[in-house]
Structure 1
């Protein structure tokens, strides 16, 4: 049997907090983020960018960066918006979301930039 790893995460230490599934993997580089955007576009989902302060990431709604990019299929445009959000709010977490029109829910969401914990 394999040994399970315990991920230390606590409310008192914002830098230790885990979010979606990807938080348990090594940080995504630009190529992996691009592949996730490609996946969202290939599913026909609408991409959106959200951000929030690290200390508010669990008990507050995340701020929407502009409106969701309904029908946007250009991967470079989506990545540029994520980068613009990160530059405008360098201390915030930035999350990529893929809205599924058919299921009327989020099909995917992942933190692609981690902010600076307070």
Structure 2
């Protein structure tokens, strides 16, 4: 039987906190982020962008960046909005969501930019 690794994430150590499955992997490259956006669009999901201070990242409520991009299929427009949100809030975490109309839930959720840990 294999052993399960315990990741030493602690509330007392902000730099150790993880936010979702992708956060245990190395940071995504621009090309990998593009592929994730393409996948969200190809599934017909509606992209949305949220951001928050790193100290509030474990809470349920993040600030919504504009409105969800209902029906948006232009990958470059979605990537531009991610960059715009990051530029406007450089110290915040910025995450991309993909809303699934059929299940009426989030089908995708990933942090694309990490803010400064204080």
TM over 0.5: yes
| Equivalent-residue separation in structure 1 for 2:59 and 2:72 (angstroms) | 30
| Equivalent-residue separation in structure 2 for 1:27 and 1:6 (angstroms) | 20
Moved over 6 A (4+): none
| 1:3 shift after superposition | 5.4
Secondary structure, in 3 states, of the residue corresponding to 2:19?
A: coil
Hey, what does 2:82 align to over in structure 1? 82
Hey, what does 1:69 align to over in structure 2? 69
| 1:59 shift after superposition | 2.4
| 1:60 shift after superposition | 4.7
Hey, what does 1:43 align to over in structure 2? 43
Gaps of 5+ in 2: none
Hey, what does 1:99 align to over in structure 2? 99
| 1:19 shift after superposition | 1.0
Work out whether 1:59 is the aligned partner of 2:36. Answer: no
| C-alpha RMSD of matched pairs (Å) | 1.2
| Equivalent-residue separation in structure 2 for 1:33 and 1:60 (angstroms) | 23
Gaps of 5+ in 1: none
Q: Report the TM-score when normalising by structure 1.
A: 0.95
| Equivalent-residue separation in structure 2 for 1:46 and 1:23 (angstroms) | 22
| 1:28-82 per-position Cα deviation (integer Å, ceiling 9, x unaligned) | 1101100000000000000000000000011251000000000000000000000
Q: Report the TM-score when normalising by structure 2.
A: 0.95
